[in-house]
Amino acid sequence: MSEEILVLIEHRGGKARAISWEAIGFGQKLAGLLNREMAVVLLGHEVDALAAEMTQRCGQAVLVASSPQLESYTPEAYCAVLSQLVCQRSPWLLLLGHTYQAIDFAPRLAAMLGRGLIPNCVDFRWDGTQLTFVRQVFNGKLNLEVGFKGSPPHLVSLQQGAFSAYDVQSASNPKLVHVDAALTPEVLKRKVLGILKTAQGQVDLTQADIIVAGGRGLANKEKFQIILDLAQVLGAGVGASRPVTDGGWLPKEHQIGSSGQTVAPKLYIACGISGAIQHLVGMSNSGCIVAINKDPNAPIFSIADYGIVGDVFKVVPVLIEAAKEIRK
Ligand SMILES: Cc1cc2nc3c(=O)[nH]c(=O)nc-3n(C[C@H](O)[C@H](O)[C@H](O)COP(=O)(O)OP(=O)(O)OC[C@H]3O[C@@H](n4cnc5c(N)ncnc54)[C@H](O)[C@@H]3O)c2cc1C
């Protein structure tokens, strides 16, 4: 029985998505704790440059399944190739990012393999003998600890932003291994004609390097404009706490937190946000957190790397001017 941990890479336009680096970092941590081998799995067509980058950056073995039929994601092709790979290598664990893509194919893959899937995990526990994964239910009100029954391979998907991409180490096993990607024509039941963006210019917050987020401290929709202005000058995504989206100041997809998105940008600037636990679970893994709040006792300061005690309407315009100066 293999002891191996496999981490599936999700990529688009020749770049691995942030969640894949988070999954690699977590996989390496688990492999170290449990003394297991780890490899990265890349499915696609003409992905040599990305495979080379992956081996360089994480120093792990990269298993490449390359075929024109894998150029665009389809659940049938992914399930066919991954089930072949799993049957050949009998890994102990297959780690995925909990993305729309994984939500689409992972349950089908688990059913094909006759194995369990623990989806959307935010943490794990290892007591020396037993491994359990933590997932949130009821909009983040409760945490469940879930373990596997039966024999491996086990499938686990990780919530975006729950683990840090900065945990990726450079391991010492960088090699490229080409694996079988044979697909019979009848496997492919659909062809992707193109990928349409839902809205022009909209920032995918899970991919943003910088997020400027505003909360109820911004007072109303009109005054919230300074958050958009700061985000624009920094080339950042715009995030919000729940009162902002509930109040209709911004669409729901900007909400960060247990009932919104989970993000882990390099820089998160929280303006007029108190730091309720439901907000913190969505952003506490950010690389650097800057909090601006007029209340020195606001809980957001307990996780902030830099805190500014002050009025957002005085501090943010100064930041906008400073950013404009730097950009000149
Ligand atoms: C099931 C459930 C799910 C939830 N999911 C989410 C979620 O996904 N995301 C989320 O964010 N919340 C969520 N919440 C709500 C959460 O509990 C908090 O109510 C919410 O995060 C508070 O938002 P806030 O920090 O913007 O507002 P407040 O808690 O009201 O904080 C506003 C802050 O602004 C500061 N402030 C006011 N004026 C100024 C000023 N002029 N300058 C500087 N600072 C100022 C205040 O000092 C205060 O700290 C959820 C709640 C429940 C029950």
Residues whose beta carbon lies within 6 Å of some atom of ligand 1? 139-141, 215-217, 241-243, 255-260, 272-274, 276, 278-279, 282, 292-295, 298, 311-313
Dist. CA 253–CA 62, nearest whole Å: 34
**Which domain covers residue 95, as residue numbers?**
5-187
Which pLDDT score, from 0 to 100, does residue 197 have?
Answer: 67
Residue 12 one-letter amino acid: R
Chain mean position to CA 224: 27
The answer to the question of residue 192 being in a domain is no
Chosen domain end from 131, 161, 187: 187
Position in ligand 1 atom list of the atom nearest CA 274: 49
Are 112 and 38 in contact by the 8 Å Cβ rule? The answer is no
The answer to the question of residue 198 being in a domain is no
Position in ligand 1 atom list of the atom nearest CA 295: 47
Q: What is the mean pLDDT of each run of 10 residues along the chain (328 residues)?
A: 87 91 95 94 95 91 94 94 95 95 96 95 92 85 90 93 84 87 83 72 76 98 97 95 97 91 92 94 91 97 97 98 88
Report CA(241)–ligand 1 centroid distance (Å): 6
Are 40 and 7 in contact by the 8 Å Cβ rule? The answer is yes
Report CA(228)–ligand 1 centroid distance (Å): 18
Which pLDDT score, from 0 to 100, does residue 327 have?
Answer: 77
Dist. CA 244–CA 136, nearest whole Å: 23
Which pLDDT score, from 0 to 100, does residue 254 have?
Answer: 95
- Phi/psi zone of residue 55: left (φ > 0), alpha (ψ -120 to 50 degrees), beta? alpha
Which pLDDT score, from 0 to 100, does residue 228 have?
Answer: 97
Which pLDDT score, from 0 to 100, does residue 139 have?
Answer: 64
Are 284 and 213 in contact by the 8 Å Cβ rule? The answer is no
Same-domain check for residues 219 and 298: yes
- Phi/psi zone of residue 297: left (φ > 0), alpha (ψ -120 to 50 degrees), beta? alpha
Which pLDDT score, from 0 to 100, does residue 214 have?
Answer: 98
Are 257 and 200 in contact by the 8 Å Cβ rule? The answer is no
Same-domain check for residues 9 and 146: yes
Angle among Cα 53, 56, 60 to the nearest 5 degrees reads 105
Which pLDDT score, from 0 to 100, does residue 160 have?
Answer: 84
Alpha-carbon torsion, ordered 300, 303, 307, 312, to 10 deg = -30
Dist. CA 59–CA 52, nearest whole Å: 10
pTM strictly above 0.75: no
Which pLDDT score, from 0 to 100, does residue 236 have?
Answer: 94
What's the domain count of the chain? 2
The answer to the question of residue 111 being in a domain is yes
CATH number for the domain harbouring residue 220:
3.40.50.1220
Which pLDDT score, from 0 to 100, does residue 189 have?
Answer: 82
The pick from 138, 220, 273 for probing ligand 1's pocket by mutation, whose C-beta has the most ligand atoms within 8 angstroms, reads 273
Q: Quick check: helix, strand or coil at residue 317?
A: helix
The answer to the question of residue 118 being in a domain is yes
CA-closest residue to ligand 1 atom 42 = 311
Q: Please report, for residues 117, 254, 272, 314, the alpha-carbon distance to residue 147 in angstroms, rounded to integers and kept in the order given.
A: 10, 33, 39, 50
Which pLDDT score, from 0 to 100, does residue 53 have?
Answer: 92
